[in-house]
Amino acid sequence: MKLAVVLICLLVCSPFAFAAEPAGSAPGAREALSRKSEKGLFALELAPAGGGLKTGSNSIDLTLRDKGGRGVEGAKLTVVPWLPEKNHGVWDKPVVTERGAGKYRVDNVALAIAGRWELRVAVQKEAQEDRAVFAFTVARKELPAPAKADKPKGNYKRSVHRYVLPNVTLLNQDGKKVNVRSLVDSGKPVIVDFIYTTCNTICPVLSASFANLRKELGKDAEQVQLISLSIDPEHDRPEQMKKYLSRFNAGKGWDFLTGSKEDIQKVLQALDAVVPDKMAHEPIYLLRGPNSDEWVRTKGLMRKTDLLGELRSLER
């Protein structure tokens, strides 16, 4: 019987776990960017990218120190955003990546609405466990001011960004090693999307759009570098990617890239396209003109005309 009890405990996997989140605000949550953990075992310092938290996806740099002020490596950090006034948390879980010397990056802090949010950080380092609660007033995100005057567009959002790509080598559909920076700096206009070969809904549309764009460009198709980055690198190997591309009549000038999870993650981070789970990804294109340091980012499924228009506007 004891055995069965242990197994039951093991087997209770919790599809309704969200309903069991603790209610009520944790005491002592004040707006501060650094604080000691509750038992005093650690000191935590947060640095949200952009200075504060906004609605939408946020990234935060977190530094973890021990009592002696030394950076703590190899800790397991769990970050839970919580909105006490509405008594709810978030669907998408934040993703924590260790960066060495006690520094951690917390990505995908996805806050749907404005308000007074808490970030509940649990720290586990070997046998030591502690937690700290930070409070933030989360403002509505201001849309980044577009660099160029926007004409009325189709049903998608457009913004302009500067990204710095990591020096990472990935593998293309032919199994050839491709340096991401060199590919982007090949002197051609570039369009990047994020897909995977067994994707249900949006990838086929994104890829059909690439195929239509190439058809429209005709002989000039090779003068535009299309890059599809796999967000399912475990499954997407050169063989699968090649087969996928052939469904879309791809040819020279369209590369599908995969690589180790870590390398793909680095590229996704640099392009602000991290996804916690491949099925939760978004229809995004990133476009960049040759020798430009500005990227146009579009979100939403687009018409071919709109994508072509964005491409043309890079040349101006």
Partner 1 sequence: MSRDTTRSASALLLTILLCCCALPAAGADQGTVGGYPAAQALRLGQAMYRDGILPSGQSMKATVQEDIELDGAMSTCANCHQRSGMGALEGGILSPPTNGARLYAPLKSPLDIPGSIMKRSNFKGGRPAYNRESLATLLRTGIGPAGKRISETMPLYHLSEDEMAIMIFYLEQLSSELSPGVSDDEIRFATILAEGTSPGDRDSLLLPLNTFITEVWNAQIPARDRSLQGAKLPDAAKPPAAAAYRRAALDVWELKGAPESWGRQLEALYRERPVFALLGGIAPGKWDPVHRFCEKMEIPCIFPLTDLPVLSEKDWYTLYFSKGYYQEGEAAAKYLSRVFALPPGKKLIQLYRDGDQAKALARGFGETWRKLGDTALSDRPVAGDEKIDAKFWQQLASSHPDAVLLLWLAPADLAGIEALAASEHRPSTIFLSATLLAGALQGVPEGIRDLTLITYPTRLPGDLESGKSASAGWASFNTLPISNRSVAAKSYLITRVLARVLVDMGASAYRDFFLDIVDEGKDDINSTMLFPTLSFGPGQRYASKGCYVVSVSKGKDPQVVRQSDWIIY
85 binds partner 1 (CB under 8 A): no
Give the contact letters, 141-160, x = binds to partner 1 (CB under 8 A), - = no: -------------xx-----
CA distances, 92 to each of 24, 107, 137 (Å): 21, 11, 20
Look at the block and give the residue holding tokens 């603790």. Answer: 22
Task: Please tell me whether residue 17 binds partner 1 under the rule CB under 8 A.
Answer: no
Q: Judged by CB under 8 A, which stretch of 53-61, 78-86, 220-228, 258-266 contacts partner 1?
A: 258-266
CA distances from 99 to 7, 32, 38, 61, 266 (A): 37, 23, 24, 10, 12
* Least distance in angstroms from the C-beta of 15 to partner 1: 5
238 near partner 1 (CB under 8 A): yes
Residue matched to tokens 């800790």: 75
What one-character-per-residue DSSP string does 180-212 give? HHHHHTSSS-EEEEEE-TT--SHHHHHHHHHHH
Secondary structure (3-state) at 304:
helix
Binding-site member from 205, 220, 251, 292 for partner 1 (CB under 8 A): 205
What is the closest distance, in whole angstroms, from the C-beta atom of residue 240 to partner 1 in the complex? 9
Of 30 and 177, CB closest to partner 1? 177
Helix (H, G, I), strand (E, B) or coil at 71: strand
- Interface with partner 1 (CB under 8 A), residue total 61
Contact pick of 17, 69, 85, 126 for partner 1 (by CB under 8 A): 126
Q: Which residues pair with 57 in a beta bridge?
A: 110
- 49: Cβ–Cβ under 8 A, 6 or more apart, which residues? 58, 59, 60, 61
Residues at the interface with partner 1 (CB under 8 A): 3-4, 6-13, 15-16, 18-19, 74, 76, 91, 126, 154-155, 171, 175, 196, 198-202, 204-205, 207-209, 211-212, 215, 232-235, 237-239, 247-248, 258-261, 277-283, 301-305
